[in-house]
Structure 1
């Protein structure tokens, strides 16, 4: 015979318990988690000038629980797929396009063509950098959060 007990708890306190462990919204633990995620993502993030990889330091509110990559090309690089429509631009007589552009006002869409990432600056650079970082460093981030919660 088994018994299943379902219970819901509602905390109506003033937040003293959460504050005691620095777990409140915007608190030290969330700030530590956010900073760890940004730092651990750096080697996984595409890097040409470093603007994309460093953008969360300025764009993400400390302790907000969100890491924001604030560049116009972040989504495109995150998914690692060429977005279109792409119209080739020929600037010489070689017959090879020198660049591409998308007309203004047209919604961009994924084309199914994978991007190729340079790995000379960041050997781990590539698409889905958060998921790949998380697979490698989740325990490290949790340990940092535990240490902050325990006052270490």
Structure 2
């Protein structure tokens, strides 16, 4: 006989799980402590700010630079904590896909930054999200 599951999820106060089986009904209720939701939201918000800042900081040495306007457009076009880094210079897209720079600077700077720094950024974000 197939098991039937019914999930009722309520956040941030708690969750109720109910499962009917041939032997009866199993019910579990999980309740968050009163101050837990704001603390978790605060930690996650700080972790997102960390990720956004680190993406900009680590992308800087890889981003094409003639006058520095492209790098500044990333700083000005990004709202730290939003989860979206945006280079809003009119030529940013072309630079991202086509530019042949000198040294480390060149195309697809975000992808190259992510390959080199992903683990460090994730470790830092995890530490902050856990309240550290």
Q: Distance in 1 between matches of 2:67 and 2:112?
A: 21
1:74 equivalent in alignment to 2:92: yes
| Correspondence for 2:46 among 13, 18, 28 | 28
Q: Deviations over 1:96-119 (max 9, x none)?
A: xxxxxxxxxxxxxxxxxxx432x2
The ranges of structure 1 where at least 4 consecutive aligned residues each deviate by more than 4 angstroms after the TM superposition are 6-11, 14-18
Q: Going by fraction, where is helix more abundant, 1 or 2?
A: 2
**Greater relative contact order (Cα 8 A, min sep 6): structure 1 or 2?**
1
Structure 1: gaps of 5 or more residues: 1-5, 81-114
| Correspondence for 1:116 among 100, 120, 124 | 100
TM-score (norm 1): 0.61
Q: Going by fraction, where is strand more abundant, 1 or 2?
A: 2
Q: Distance in 2 between matches of 1:146 and 1:9?
A: 28
Aligned length: 108
Residue in structure 1 matched with residue 116 of structure 2 by the alignment = 136
- How much does 1:20 deviate? 2.0
Query: Which segment is superposed worse, 12-21 or 27-36?
Result: 12-21
Q: Deviations over 1:50-74 (max 9, x none)?
A: 1112322221112000001010000
For 2:119, what is the secondary structure of its paired residue? helix
Would you say the 8 A contact 2:100–2:107 is kept in 1? Answer: no
Residue in structure 2 matched with residue 49 of structure 1 by the alignment = 67
Q: Distance in 2 between matches of 1:125 and 1:11?
A: 48
